[in-house]
Amino acid sequence: MELTLGFSPCPNDTFIFDAMVNGKINTNGLTFKTQLEDVETLNKWAMQGKLAITKLSFGVYRKVQDQYELLNSGSALGRGCGPLLIAKKDIPQDKLKDCKIAIPGENTTANLLFSIAFPEVKQKEVMIFSDIENAVLDGRVDAGVIIHENRFTYQQKGLVKIIDLGEYWESTTGSPIPLGGIFIRKDVPDEVKQAVDKLVHDSLQYSYKHYPALSSYVTEHAQEMDESVMRQHIDLYVNDFSLGLGEAGRAAVDRLMKAAV
């Protein structure tokens, strides 16, 4: 049985799915037609029900929960891993309401966390996450919400952090930060859902056994990213919650969903 599968080309996702999609573990007859896309593209596709299995921002969960359900394995959820608001120079937080802010997608968890922290900010410009640093540097926006590997590069470009939105969430709720998860369409048979969930778990375990070595699948999709940044990326976004959300992980997701209402 072939299933469509979407995830991002970022190292945390390719690290998780490598063994599963490249025949390094036994998939018991399941095969996967993969599409690697920016997470906001995947979010939009999910609202159309396009893919059978997909990585999604938890920020879009409420909009697709009639079509998709969350798997136990594969999530990006933890502490100290949230998006950052950065600028060329420090901006007092009470002045942000007058600023133009770049966000990495309307349906991203990053935008949701920013909106929870600063509900009064209305001037937002949606951009691909990798374009936000340069937009701030060029003065096209006053500040930007950055995710993924940009957490590790913004200071090298002379940019400054205004607020860590993950720290804000943790300090106000005490909960870990749910960033993204792996979802499966509800029309997939239950036994296939269970098999896929186990495969995601086993695929990640396979990658962990070989870590810190990085496979060509990870490095090729990370393009020009330095290998040390790839490992920082994996270490930040892949953890025990990725192997299994458990009660604590699902409680954190529920808390975010309630905050989004």
Q: Where in the chain is the domain with CATH 3.40.190.10?
A: 2-78+177-260, 89-173
- Residue 75 three-state SS: coil
Do strands 124-126 and 160-164 pair parallel, antiparallel, or not at all (unpaired)?
A: unpaired
Q: Is 203 annotated in some ligand binding site?
A: no
CB 131 within 8 A of CB 40: no
Assign 189 to helix, strand or coil.
Answer: coil
Residue 92 pLDDT exceeds 90? yes
Rounded to the nearest 5°, which phi and psi values hold at 242?
-70, -35
148 is catalytic: yes
The predicted model scores a pTM of: 0.91
pLDDT score at 261? 64
Question: 259 a known binding residue?
Answer: no
Q: Summarize pLDDT for 44-79 with one digit per residue, the tens.
A: 999 999 999 999 999 999 999 999 999 999 999 999
d(CA 42, CA 56): 6
pLDDT above 70: residue 22: yes
CA distance 106 to 104: 7
Q: Which of 204, 212, 233, 192 is nearest to 19 (CA)?
A: 204
Q: Is 56 annotated as a binding residue?
A: yes
Q: Contact 36/12 with Cβ under 8 angstroms?
A: no
Pure H helices in the chain: 11-21, 39-47, 61-64, 109-117, 132-138, 165-173, 190-210, 216-221, 227-237, 240-243, 246-260
Among residues 148, 201, 221, 233, the one annotated as catalytic is 148
The string of pLDDT tens digits covering residues 205-255 is 999 999 999 999 999 999 768 899 899 999 999 999 999 999 999 999 999
**CATH code at 2-78+177-260:** 3.40.190.10
6 residue type, one letter: G
- 130 known ligand binder: no
Superfamily of domain 89-173: Periplasmic binding protein-like II (3.40.190.10)
Residues 6+ apart with CB under 8 A from 124: 100, 101, 102, 103, 106, 111
DSSP state of 103: E
Note the pLDDT of residue 150: 83
Residue 181, burial from CB neighbour count under 10 angstroms (0-12, 13-18, 19+): buried
Cβ atoms of 77 and 241 within 8 Å: the answer is: yes
